[in-house]
Amino acid sequence: MIQAEIANLSKKYGKEIVINDLGLKINKGEILAVVGPSGCGKTTLLQIIAGLTGAEKGSVVLAGRTLLSVERNISVLPEKRKIAMVFQNYALWPHYNVWQNISYALRVRGVEKSKCEKIVKETMEMVRLEGKQKRYPHELSGGEQQRVALARALVIRPDLLLFDESLSNLDAKMKEKMQREIKKIQQELRLTIVHVTHDQHEAMGMADRIAVMNKGRIEQVGAVEEVYKYPVTQFVAGFIGTANFISESLDDLTESKLWRRAVRAAENKNKNEFRNKENLLSVRPEDVIIKSGKGEIIGTVAKATYRGNAIDYEIIAGKRVLYVQTDTRNLYELGAEVSIDIVRAVTIKDN
Ligand SMILES: Nc1ncnc2c1ncn2[C@@H]1O[C@H](COP(=O)(O)OP(=O)(O)O)[C@@H](O)[C@H]1O
Ligand SMILES: [Mg+2]
């Protein structure tokens, strides 16, 4: 079931097109991660959804209700949207204590005092802030401030919860912990969340689906595994995970051997499309197999990075560097000659 639908959305700042005919459907009860490089329009997209800024074209529908339709001249006020947003810097009110920060949205909506107290208390328990109601933001750790920001968003029990890089300021361990807690709360309250981040690992760790954004458009949206295994464009393949791009070569013998090997290993959703017009293959590092000694395709180990559970190699093969990931059972020294094979590739659009 679709909870929110964004269609034909466009926005400019001056001459710059920031959102470019963007479409996106958000399923009820899912965490959808929107990932993309800095400046691609992620924050602007959230701001339009929340009603904090307008658009030149397009529409936003949430739970069957049109919140924005430029064409039909509809624009519902932000506070009437049942959307909550958590910002990167948390944006807590410094002169309000925890209780006042969290209860704010209920008080401005005129929620009756005893009901307000009940919801705030419940929400504080949910985010594990019990006993901290009298503290001021500067008396809290980064993680606690984050929880206040989350609680403040949760009190209105939003139809859509938006996170804008909300976990970016936390250290790695804290980030993982918050991800688990958010996921738990999301399931308890059956929340629909759009989680914007430039961090692909964060997106993959938390989301049900990923939408990859580039230059104001969504390039691909799908289950985490699907986007990783079947990227449709070069941009997506390179942004989600690491990829080796191989194209047909007429002047480099090693490259043309790699190409032929990759074509044989190509796993395509649509082989016809591949044969007719595609000319680029994407190979994940774990789908390149290296062995010591001679073989049809030869390379040299130029770099090795030990990751604990895996090793990342850079192998010089002909004129290129090949990114390879192996388990830790066989180790190859710098300068060692290895034979190379490709066991899986997918065709992508060159962009
Ligand atoms: N208020 C604004 N006025 C002018 N340009 C803006 C404004 N907000 C964002 N932009 C521009 O729009 C583009 C997208 O910005 P933003 O949505 O913040 O990207 P992201 O969140 O993906 O980093 C950037 O080029 C940025 O400079
Ligand atoms: Mg941003």
pLDDT per position as a tens digit, 55-73: 999 999 999 999 999 999 9
Ligand 2 center to 33 CA (angstroms): 13
Return the minimum-mean-pLDDT range out of 77-86, 92-101, 276-285, 328-337: 276-285
Ligand at minimal distance from the CA of 44 is: 1
Mean model confidence pLDDT for the chain: 93
Classify burial at 133, counting beta carbons within 10 Å of its beta carbon; exposed 0-12, middle 13-18, buried 19 or more.
middle
SS3 25: strand
Distance of CA 132 to the CA centre of its chain: 32
Ligand at minimal distance from the CA of 89 is: 2
Mean pLDDT of 192-206: 92
**Of all atoms in ligand 1, which is nearest to the CA of residue 38?**
23
Ligand 2 center to 195 CA (angstroms): 11
Dist. CA 106–CA 125, nearest whole Å: 17
241 to each of 304, 318, 323, how far by Cα in Å? 18, 24, 11
List the beta strands (DSSP E) in 144-279. Answer: 160-164, 193-197, 209-214, 217-223, 244-247
Residue 270: predicted pLDDT: 53
Residue 216 structure tokens = 């104001």
**Of all atoms in ligand 1, which is nearest to the CA of residue 44?**
17
Which residue type occupies 216?
G
Residue 272: predicted pLDDT: 52
Ligand 1 pocket residues where CB is under 6 Å? 13, 16, 18, 36, 38-44
pLDDT-derived band at 249 (thresholds 50, 70, 90) equals confident
Residue 267: predicted pLDDT: 82
Dist. CA 3–CA 90, nearest whole Å: 25
Residue 170: predicted pLDDT: 84
The residues, ordered by sequence, that sit 6+ positions from 282 with a Cβ below 8 Å of its Cβ are 231, 234, 237, 243, 244, 245, 246, 345, 346, 347, 348
Residue 278: predicted pLDDT: 54
Q: In degrees rounded to 5, what are phi and psi of residue 17?
A: -85, 115
pLDDT-derived band at 172 (thresholds 50, 70, 90) equals confident
208 pLDDT more than 90: yes
287 to each of 148, 201, 208, 296, how far by Cα in Å? 43, 19, 24, 17
350 pLDDT more than 60: yes
- Set out the domains of the chain in order of their start, with CATH numbers: 2-231 (3.40.50.300), 242-348 (2.40.50.140)
Residue owning the nearest CA to atom 24 of ligand 1: 39
